[in-house]
Structure 1
Amino acid sequence: MKRPGRIGAGAIGAILGGAMSLSIQVVSFFEGTSLEAYPDPVGIPTICTGHTGPTVKLHQTKTPEECEALLQGDLGRAFDAIDARVAPDINRTLPPTRRAALASFIFNVGEGAFEQSTLLARLNAGQTKAACDQLSRWVYADGRKLAGLIRRRAAERELCLIGVER
C-alpha cells in the first residue's frame, strides 16, 4: 500500500527522465552537433553537442553514437551537481522544467561556476524567481556578451520560471 504524499520510484524516474529529455532538447538546440571538433566562440576545442575537456583536440572526430553518449554523460554530471548543491528540501520540489533549465546552465558554465553563483544561493534560500532571474546575467564568454548566450539564458529562464508567480 502506498502512503499518501509520497512519490513512488516510478514517478521519480519519470520526472527525472522528463527533465533529462527536456535538457537534451535545450542543449542540442543551442549547442548544435558537430562530429568534428572545432573552436567554440572563445577558442575552446569542442566536439559533438558542446562537449569540451582535455581530451578534445581540434579536427578530432566522433560518431553520432559517441556524441549521444557524451551528451548523456555531460548532462548526467550536471544533474548530479543539482543533486549535490541544491538544498535537499528545495531539490525535492524542483519541477522537471526547472531541473532541465539548471542542467542546461550547468552544462554550459560548469559545476564550479554554479556552486559559487548567486543563482544557487538564492535558490537555496527559497527565492525561486530571484534565482531564475539570475540566469539573464550569464551572457558573457571571455568578457564578451554573446547573442547566442542571451537567447539561451532567456529560454532557460522561461523554463526555470514555469509555475512561479511572476
Structure 2
Amino acid sequence: MCYGETDGVRPGDRYTVAECKAMLARSLEGYALKLEACVTRPMADETYAAFLSLSYNIGSGGFCMSSVARLWNAGDTRAACNAMLKFNRAAGVTMPGLTRRRTHERALCLKGI
C-alpha cells in the first residue's frame, strides 16, 4: 500500500496521495533514527539518502548488520557503496527491479564521496 508500508495497513484500506506521503515521512523518521544509531561516521547527504533507501527496503536491523554499514564504519567508503549491489535478491532469486534500485542507490552513495 502506498510506498510499501505494511504497518497498521489492513486489506481494503485506501489512502490519498497526501496520506501516503505523510505515512512515508513518519516511517522514514524512524528508519533515519535507527540508521544514525548504527552508522558511526559522518556522510554526505547523497550517501545518507542512499543508505536510508536501502534501510527502508531491507529493514533497519538488516541494514545495521549489513556489510554496507560494517564497511562504512570501518572507513572503507567505496566498498560500502559497492556492497549495496548485493541486496538485489528476494527469496534467493535475483530481481531485475531490485538490481535497478541498488544500482541507483550505489550511484547516489558514490556521488556523496
Q: Which amino acid aligns with 2:6?
A: T
Cross-structure match for 1:52: 6
User: Greater CA radius of gyration, 1 or 2?
Assistant: 1
Map Cα deviations across residues 34-64 of structure 1 (whole Å, 9 max, x no partner). Answer: xxxxxxxxxxxxx1112122x2223211122
Map Cα deviations across residues 40-93 of structure 1 (whole Å, 9 max, x no partner). Answer: xxxxxxx1112122x222321112221111110121122112211111xx12xx
Higher strand share: 1
Cross-structure match for 1:97: 46
Q: Say whether 1:75 aligns with 2:28.
A: yes
Aligned residues, how many? 113
Higher helix share: 2
Runs ≥4 residues deviating over 2 A: none
Structure 1: unaligned runs, 5 residues or longer: 1-46
Q: For the residues of structure 2 that align with 1:76 and 1:119, how far apart are their CA atoms?
A: 20
Deviation of 1:160 after TM superposition, in Å, equals: 0.3
Q: Which amino acid aligns with 1:129?
A: R
Cross-structure match for 2:38: 85
Identical pairs, percent: 35
Map Cα deviations across residues 2-50 of structure 1 (whole Å, 9 max, x no partner). Answer: xxxxxxxxxxxxxxxxxxxxxxxxxxxxxxxxxxxxxxxxxxxxx1112
- Please tell me the root mean square deviation across aligned C-alpha atoms, in Å: 1.2
TM-score by length of 2: 0.93
Q: For the residues of structure 2 that align with 1:159 and 1:117, how far apart are their CA atoms?
A: 18
Q: Per chain length, whose mean CA-contact separation is higher, i.e. which structure has more relative contact order (CA < 8 Å, sep 6+)?
A: 2
Structure 2: unaligned runs, 5 residues or longer: none
Q: Which amino acid aligns with 1:96?
A: D
Q: Which amino acid aligns with 2:91?
A: D
TM-score by length of 1: 0.65
